[in-house]
C-alpha cells in the first residue's frame, strides 16, 4: 500500500473526545462481539486523538525523566530487536510468533520490564540513584538521617 493511499483521520474536538458525558456508557461485558466492535470503532473514530494523547504523555515523561526514558526505550529496543532477529533466524520462534502472537508480545514486555527493573536495581546499588536536594545538603554537612523516623 502506498503512503499516498493512507488518509489521516480528523482530529475530534476535546468536548467530543473527553468532556461530553452523554457518550459514556457502561459496555455490555456479556456480549463480547458487541464489546469488541465498540472498542474497535472507538479506536478508529478517535485514532488521531489517541495518537496525540500518547505523544504528549510520552514527551512529558521523557522531559521529566529523560534517563529512565532512555533506559526504557533502549531496553525495549534491544528486546524487540532480539525477537525480530530470532524470528528471522529460528523457525521455532517464527512459528511461535505466528501461532501465539499475544503470548509472545506479553512475554517480550515482561522480559523488558524485568530487564529495566534489574538495570534500575544495579544502578541504585552502584550509587547512581538520584538523591533529593535535602539529602545532598545533609550529606554535605555530614549528617546522616535516622531512617526509622521517616515513614
Angle subtended by helix axes 66-89 and 101-125, to nearest 10: 140
Residue 36 confidence class, pLDDT cut points 50, 70, 90 = confident
Highest mean pLDDT out of 28-37, 108-117, 130-139: 108-117
Helix-strand-coil split of the chain, %, nearest 5: 75, 0, 25
Whether the per-residue pLDDT at 125 is higher than 60: the answer is no
Residue 66 confidence class, pLDDT cut points 50, 70, 90 = confident
Closest CA to 108 of 131, 138, 84: 84
Whether the per-residue pLDDT at 109 is higher than 60: the answer is yes
Q: Is 102 exposed, middle or buried (0-12, 13-18, 19+ CB in 10 A)?
A: exposed
List phi, psi (to 5°) of 144.
-105, 125
Residues 122, 124, 126, 128, CA torsion sign: positive
Residue 124 confidence class, pLDDT cut points 50, 70, 90 = low
Amino acid at each position: 500500500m502506498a503512503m499516498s493511499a493512507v488518509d489521516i483521520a480528523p482530529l475530534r474536538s476535546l468536548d467530543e473526545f473527553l468532556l461530553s458525558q452523554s457518550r459514556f456508557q457502561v459496555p455490555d461485558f456479556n456480549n463480547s462481539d458487541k464489546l469488541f466492535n465498540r472498542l474497535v470503532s472507538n479506536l478508529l473514530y478517535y485514532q488521531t486523538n489517541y495518537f496525540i494523547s500518547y505523544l504528549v504523555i510520552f514527551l512529558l515523561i521523557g522531559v521529566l525523566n529523560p534517563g529512565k526514558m532512555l533506559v526504557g526505550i533502549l531496553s525495549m529496543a534491544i528486546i524487540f530487536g532480539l525477537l525480530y532477529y530470532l524470528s528471522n533466524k529460528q523457525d521455532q520462534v517464527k512459528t511461535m510468533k505466528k501461532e501465539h502472537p499475544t503470548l509472545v508480545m506479553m512475554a517480550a514486555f515482561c522480559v523488558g520490564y524485568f530487564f529495566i527493573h534489574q538495570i534500575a536495581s544495579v544502578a541504585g546499588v552502584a550509587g547512581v540513584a538520584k538523591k533529593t536536594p535535602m539529602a545532598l545538603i545533609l550529606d554535605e554537612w555530614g549528617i546522616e538521617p535516622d531512617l526509622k523516623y521517616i515513614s
